[in-house]
Structures are given as C-alpha cells and as structure tokens.
C-alpha cells in the first residue's frame, strides 16, 4: 500500500499530464495508484488534503468516483457574497435567528438529481 502522499504525487502527475483543468477520476484508478483493494473514506479525505499541495481539489461526485479541479482555475472565478445574493430581509432574519431554513434548503438542493421513489422503498 502506498501512503496518501505517494498517491497524491502519482495522481497529480497523471492529472498534470492530461493537460486538463478538470477531470473525473474513478475510485478504481485511485485504488490502483494507492495499491489498495479498498478505498476508505479516511484515506480519500487524507488524499484530498495531500492533493491540495499540488494545486488540485478533489471531491467525491454522486455519479461515482471523484472530480479533480485545478485549483488555480478557481482564482479567476467571480466572487459570491452574502451581501449581493441574500436579500436585506434574509440577512436580518439570519441575524435575528428567525430565518426560514426550508426556503434556503429548497434552493440549496435545486439542481440536484432527486432519487427515484422506487429507490427509497
């Protein structure tokens, strides 16, 4: 088994060689690079931290596997602020502790794929 640091070096190398600023990486690929049969959450979390040292952000994605994004590409991203995207009333309600969390949650989950009802059974 390879350490998280060794795995991060290998993963950063193949990501850099791909010449992409974003990529999907399968759990299988990470297991191969790490020389592991199982990919535990703790290892993936440590790998995420170690990979950040090489300017890559790694996050698990719903469709399986991981997304890798070149951190440098995010530096040019437009800033998002509470002052601009929350109304005055929403900011006041948050400060008073009277915010309607269900409204925020509904918006926060919009765009996420909802599970089929059959899958919940």
In this prediction, residue 110 has a pLDDT band, given cuts at 50, 70 and 90, of: confident
In this prediction, residue 68 has a pLDDT band, given cuts at 50, 70 and 90, of: very high
What is the enclosing helix (H) or strand (E) of 79?
Answer: none
In this prediction, residue 92 has a pLDDT band, given cuts at 50, 70 and 90, of: very high
Q: What is the DSSP string of 14-51?
A: HHHHHT-SEEEE-HHHHHHHHT-S---HHHHHHHHHHH
Q: Over range 68-89, report the average pLDDT.
A: 92
The predicted pLDDT at position 112 comes to: 65
Domains of the chain are: 4-75 (1.10.10), 79-109 (no CATH)
């Amino acid at each position: 088994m390879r350490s998280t640091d060794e795995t991060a070096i290998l993963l950063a190398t193949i990501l850099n060689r791909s010449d992409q600023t974003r990529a999907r990486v399968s759990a299988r690929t990470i297991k191969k690079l790490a020389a592991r049969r199982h990919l535990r959450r703790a290892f993936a979390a440590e790998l995420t931290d170690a990979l950040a040292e090489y300017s890559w952000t790694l996050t698990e994605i719903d469709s399986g596997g991981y997304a890798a994004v070149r951190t440098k590409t995010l530096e040019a991203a437009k800033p998002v602020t509470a002052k601009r995207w929350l109304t005055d009333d929403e900011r006041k309600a948050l400060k008073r502790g009277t915010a309607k969390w269900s409204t925020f949650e509904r918006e926060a989950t919009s765009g996420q794929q909802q599970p089929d009802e059959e899958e919940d059974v």
